[in-house]
Amino acid sequence: MSKSASESYLKELADRTFLSLWAIPNTFYAPGKELTDLIVPFGDDIIVISDKASRFALDKPIEIAWPRWYRATVSGGMRQLKTAIQRIERAADTVFADARARTPILHDLAPIANKRFHLVAITRPDTDPQAVPAEWPELIYRLDAADEPFVIGPLEIAGQVVHVFDGPTIDLLLEQLDTAPDFLAYLKGRARRLQEAEGYEFVEKNLLAAALIGWDDEPPGLPSVPPLETIVDGLWEMYATSETPGRRRGLDEPGRVIDRIINVHHGEYAAGHALYEVPTFAKHEFVMRLFAAESRFARRIIAHELHDLLQEKDQSTYWVSTVPSPTRKELRYVWLIHPDAPEGVSEQRADATIQALLMDYILSVQGQFEQTLVVGVALPNGRGSDTSILMAAHDKSGWTEEDFEEARRLRDGGVFNSPEANERVHLR
């Protein structure tokens, strides 16, 4: 396949993991000058990915095939990543989304002093991104690598670790770490362990298994990369054949509604659909990132309350619930489930009514709980014909006594005036 096939395949993987709002493919820094294959600007974290594909010449002697493939993929990726971070550091406003270098990306990459780069070099053994030669072995990561075939030593650019993953490995990582927070936590932990280890030798799937088994508790559910000296053979097989992966997939499924909400809402924003004034891209991205910054495990917790509302027997009325973010102590969510509008009421009028009600619930909740930032989402009950998803966010920092009085008035008027508390335990 052509290079475009590899790029399309990477974009598909990235959209599934990081969601389309943050997965920006094929950026350029000048007309016809490609910056990098994929960039993921997620707040202060910038994942820069180079994707190099070259057919590994299995018909050639290994002492010829390996150096040739290494130069085309690993060394080529290193050069591209070095150019990319230098360009972003020097002129972040010259990162363009088109080959003519006329359309700047909408994400703000500055101030660079606050940004953290995470460098990934994907190295594929075939120009077909999904093809893996039968004779292709796993890459081995070793501290004292000495130009040995299929062995990768420590690689850095300006003190930043470069993570080298072949095609099968990046597929596995993005399947298992399928949110930006999970993937970023793994890259951060991996980089730290690589730089502090006095000696190591491992294959990636065993390190991944160790990180999945040892998830962090604060914030909850993020993968925790252990010291590299503790990684032993067989960890992945032990994990993959246990009941844990299947159980986690089942428990995580309801939380994927958050992924869909982000994608749908961003699609509506990109299409220019808004009830009121269209927010700036920066504000829109910030609110979307509040949800997206929750790990897969945290999304499971948040979505549990939504799932409960959707199971209520009487779906002819409104149902509302609120849940604090497991990740950010200043953040709380409000779920509002609504029935179809009465016959004869226009879609625009119905949406405006629901949006106003959602805002009332947000203000009432802010008057009763300590969290300063509340994000609310209104969804149809699923048994009707309405498909609209509405969202609002509000920060009560700087509230006056009059603002708190308004919140109390809403509560006393029946807006979330008698919440019932539920205690839940979520097991990994």
Do 385 and 281 fall into the same domain?
yes
Do 308 and 225 fall into the same domain?
no
Domain boundary among 242, 274, 299: 242
Domain boundary among 221, 242, 263: 242
- For residue 310, the model assigns a pLDDT of 87
- For residue 383, the model assigns a pLDDT of 73
Domain boundary among 223, 242, 261: 242
Nearest 5 degrees, angle CA 142-CA 139-CA 164? 80
424 part of a folded domain: no
Do 340 and 371 fall into the same domain?
yes
- Interacting residues of 166 by C-beta distance below 8 A, sequence separation 6+: 122, 123, 124, 125, 136, 139
Do 282 and 325 fall into the same domain?
yes
Do 262 and 237 fall into the same domain?
no
Do 287 and 400 fall into the same domain?
yes
Do 354 and 408 fall into the same domain?
yes
Supply the DSSP string of 46-67, one letter for each residue.
EEEEEEEE----TTS-HHHHHH
Are the CB atoms for 393 and 345 separated by under 8 Å? no
Helix, strand and coil in the chain, % to nearest 5:
45, 20, 35
- Interacting residues of 297 by C-beta distance below 8 A, sequence separation 6+: 215, 220, 221, 222, 252, 326, 426, 428
385 part of a folded domain: yes
317 part of a folded domain: yes
Do 271 and 160 fall into the same domain?
no
Do 211 and 265 fall into the same domain?
no
pTM of the shown model: 0.94
9 part of a folded domain: yes
Strand boundaries in 153-253, DSSP class E: 156-157, 160-166, 201-202
428 part of a folded domain: no
Q: Give me the CATH number covering residue 57.
A: 3.40.91
Q: Along the 428 residues of the chain, how does pLDDT read in single tens digits?
A: 345 677 789 999 999 999 999 999 999 999 999 999 999 999 999 999 999 999 999 889 999 999 999 999 999 999 999 999 999 999 999 999 999 999 999 999 988 888 999 999 999 999 898 888 888 999 999 999 888 999 999 999 999 999 999 999 999 999 999 999 999 999 999 999 999 999 999 999 999 999 999 877 777 789 999 999 999 999 999 999 999 999 999 999 999 999 999 999 999 898 887 767 788 999 999 999 999 999 999 999 999 999 889 888 888 889 999 999 999 999 999 999 998 888 888 888 989 999 999 999 999 999 999 999 999 999 998 776 777 889 999 999 999 999 999 999 999 999 998 887 776 666 66
Structurally, the chain folds into a number of domains equal to 2
Do 22 and 87 fall into the same domain?
yes
Do 188 and 285 fall into the same domain?
no
Give the domain extent around 288: 251-412
